């Protein structure tokens, strides 16, 4: 090998090593504590916050900061799962229509607007810890929106009912007394569903009822912009009421409706 060729070879090798050394490295967020997003999402947000606080040995004075860090990690993993689901649905062509996505965007904007007002107007005003958990709690609505479009695996057909022979007589299989609802008609709500909605509405009314008139009317209008202007099913309506109650209740003590995940 000539001297010129050797020099060129050495220079190219050195350049390759330098390039490899300076290539950006994607490091895992240290606040994930070595746990994958799949592992984090197997826990509820409450469980993860407690686990995080225990592992980093948070002092009582630093609890709010610890909760903020823990919810930020959980929120990133939660958003990543939602993004993956949205991308998968878009690729399969089974996701929400452009109109449905636009309507949800308006719903989400109204929800964020109400959230900001509620956290500021709550008596007493929400602290840092409450705000961090509220930001995480809000993420459920985007995931639920896309989750409704996720293809369901049909349940296997039930085995046909067998007739029962007793002492030479044949007893026909039992038939459900209530016929199924016709397509396009809404089935009657069960007492539990009705009670849960009434309970949530009453609690929400109690919380905004103690506010000064100006703030009460402001919050009522902001809340109406969420449910009154967008297509929302009963399950989402109940979830919105529960989220609003969480925002308005005092930070201290056990809330009526903690985060649902």
What are the boundaries of each domain within the chain?
Answer: 29-93, 96-151+195-250
Burial 59-87 (b: 16+ CB within 10 A, else e): eeeeebebbbbbbebbbebbeebbeebbe
What per-residue confidence (pLDDT) applies to 77?
96
Phi then psi for 18, rounded to 5 degrees? Answer: -60, -40
| The residue count for the chain | 261
What per-residue confidence (pLDDT) applies to 100?
94
Residue 169, both tokens: 């007589």
Flag residues of the chain having pLDDT under 50.
3-25, 163-188
Q: How far apart are CA 105 and CA 231, in angstroms?
A: 12
What per-residue confidence (pLDDT) applies to 261?
76
Peptide bond before residue 246 is cis, with ω within 30 degrees of 0: no
pTM of the model: 0.74
Task: Tell me the DSSP string of 228-244.
Answer: SSS---HHHHHHHHHHH
**DSSP helix/strand/coil, 169:** strand
Residue 229, both tokens: 């202007």
Largest Cα span, the chain: 106
What per-residue confidence (pLDDT) applies to 185?
37
């Amino acid at each position: 090998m000539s001297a010129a060729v050797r020099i060129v070879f050495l220079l190219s090798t050195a350049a390759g090593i330098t390039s490899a050394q300076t290539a950006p490295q994607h490091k895992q967020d240290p606040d994930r504590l070595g746990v994958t997003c799949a592992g984090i999402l197997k826990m509820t947000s409450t469980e993860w916050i407690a686990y995080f606080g225990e592992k980093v040995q948070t002092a009582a004075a630093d609890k709010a900061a610890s909760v903020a860090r823990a919810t930020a990690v959980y929120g990133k993993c939660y958003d990543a799962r939602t993004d993956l689901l949205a991308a998968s649905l878009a690729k399969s062509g089974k996701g929400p229509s452009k109109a449905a996505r636009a309507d949800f965007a308006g719903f989400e904007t109204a929800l964020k607007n109400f959230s900001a007002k509620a956290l500021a107007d709550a008596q007493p005003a929400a602290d840092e810890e409450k705000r961090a958990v509220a930001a995480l709690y809000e993420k459920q609505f985007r995931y639920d929106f896309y989750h409704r479009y996720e293809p369901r695996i049909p349940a296997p057909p039930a085995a046909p009912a067998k007739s029962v022979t007793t002492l030479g007589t044949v007893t026909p299989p039992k038939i459900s007394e209530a016929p199924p609802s016709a397509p396009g008609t809404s089935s009657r709500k069960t007492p539990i569903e009705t009670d849960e909605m009434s309970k949530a509405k009453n609690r929400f009314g109690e919380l905004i009822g103690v506010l000064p008139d100006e703030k009460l009317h402001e919050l009522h209008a902001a809340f109406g912009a969420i449910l009154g202007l967008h297509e929302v099913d009963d399950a989402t309506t109940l979830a919105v009421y529960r989220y609003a109650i969480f925002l308005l209740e005092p930070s201290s003590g056990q809330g009526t409706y903690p985060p649902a995940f």
